[in-house]
Copies of this chain bind each other. A is one copy, B any other.
Amino acid sequence: MDIAKPYLLFLGDVKDQLAAKTAQGVVDWRPDWCVGQMRLEGCKADCGLKDVTIAEAAAKGAKTMVVGVANAGGVLPDHWVARIVEALNQGLDVATGLHKRLGTIPEIAEAAKRNGRKLHDVRYTDMTFATGKGTKRPGLRLLAVGTDCSVGKKYTTLALDKEMRARGMKSDFRATGQTGVLISGRGIALDAVIADFIAGAAEWLSPANDADHWDVIEGQGSLFHPSFAGVTLGLLHGAQPDAFVVCHEPTRTKMRGVEHALPSIADVIERTIVEGRLTNPKIACVGIAINTEHLAEKDALALLERTGKEHGLPSVDPIRTGTGPIVDLLQKRYHA
């Protein structure tokens, strides 16, 4: 799916900043694409953009209104529906990551049709994919893997892509989750693909490319997560990464949503290589990305240093320290 830019970010009237984390991700990584934010009375989120009306955003050239908020149950409240219809009437497309499909709401479907506008439900895909073939294709690929879900794979890959581009390397961020799709304006929410086509969808997502071009692929789940390991494995096989980065959140005590303990970083490195070799015998770990936001600066830096020494790999916090050392290794190993 390709989402037209620039965006108007719709924040609705959500009750806290966390509910607007998708919108915040778009602002953090693609500020140039955002013409403003639209908030309803009582909204407790603020992404730091100028507050605009839909008409003002349209006048500024906005092409898509992104509903960048999650509310309980992914439902779409009635008073949001009216604003979505207004956006369509003003000539904007609308994109959301909600559970409820926009097109299943008659007023929205009708307004989209009448105005010839597109509705993007990024949590879903109506595309059909081939099954994965497992044959190696040209180009370099890096995949984020993790000790758990929600440990910073998206931020890590976005930060790597940004750093690589800043150094003049050929790089594309490849989104595999709904927020990533909104941030990058394309991609697929891999967890919404029919099970038989996970690997095939990952192959489609990162097609053959120049020999020195990197696809920097957002990871999903964890090989050690009992709910989602199947998705993780299918993505690993389809992505065929040459290089992977292990993402980790050091304060988590058990895996997200289940009772399982977290694997160690060493476990993840070993298992990713064992499984990843099926479609890329050269797969190698090139770094560790630790989300240290809950640690004091001193503790964070000490943890990064200790982890780096233990594994003999660059260890970074993409936000706190940047991804430079990992990109240094990529340049040395793959572009020397």
A133: B residues at CB distance < 8 A: 226-227, 258-259
Any B CB within 8 A of the CB of A200 = yes
A275: B residues at CB distance < 8 A: 229
A260: B residues at CB distance < 8 A: 134, 278
Q: How many residues of A contact B (CB 8 A)?
A: 36
Q: Mark A209-252, 1 if CB is under 8 A from B, else 0.
A: 00000000000000010111111111101000000000000000
Per a CB cutoff under 8 Å, which of B132, B231, B237, B271 touches A195? B231
Q: Mark A181-198, 1 if CB is under 8 A from B, else 0.
A: 000000000111111101
Any B CB within 8 A of the CB of A34 = no
A89: B residues at CB distance < 8 A: none
A290: B residues at CB distance < 8 A: none
Q: Which residue of chain B has its CB nearest to the CB of A255?
A: B134
Q: Which residue of chain B has its CB nearest to the CB of A200?
A: B227
A193 to B278, CA, bound (A): 24
A262 to B274, CA, bound (A): 16
* A191-B194, A194-B192, A194-B194 known; A228+B199 contact, CB < 8 A: yes
Any B CB within 8 A of the CB of A135 = yes
- A196 near B191: Cβ-Cβ < 8 Å: yes
A199 to B222, CA, bound (A): 13
* A135-B258, A135-B259, A260-B134 known; A198+B278 contact, CB < 8 A: no
Any B CB within 8 A of the CB of A131 = yes
Nearest chain B CB to A177 CB, angstrom units: 11
**CB within 8 Å of B: which A41-100 residues:** none
Nearest chain B CB to A93 CB, angstrom units: 25
Total identical chains: 2
Nearest chain B CB to A272 CB, angstrom units: 13
- A278 near B233: Cβ-Cβ < 8 Å: no
A199: B residues at CB distance < 8 A: 226-230
**CB within 8 Å of B: which A96-139 residues:** 131-135
Any B CB within 8 A of the CB of A279 = yes
Q: Which residue of chain B has its CB nearest to the CB of A257?
A: B131
A231 to B131, CA, bound (A): 12
A180 to B180, CA, bound (A): 38
Known: A131-B228, A191-B195, A195-B231. 20 other contacts (CB 8 A): A131-B227, A132-B226, A132-B227, A132-B258, A133-B259, A192-B194, A194-B195, A195-B195, A196-B231, A199-B228, A199-B230, A200-B227, A226-B279, A229-B234, A230-B230, A230-B231, A230-B235, A231-B234, A233-B233, A274-B274
Give the 4 A-B residue pairs with the shortest CB-CB distance, closest first.
A230-B234, A134-B226, A191-B196, A131-B227
Sampled A-B contacts (26; CB under 8 Å): A131-B227, A131-B228, A132-B226, A134-B260, A135-B258, A135-B259, A190-B195, A193-B195, A194-B194, A195-B195, A195-B234, A196-B227, A196-B228, A196-B231, A198-B231, A199-B226, A199-B228, A227-B237, A229-B234, A229-B237, A230-B230, A230-B231, A230-B232, A230-B234, A230-B235, A260-B278
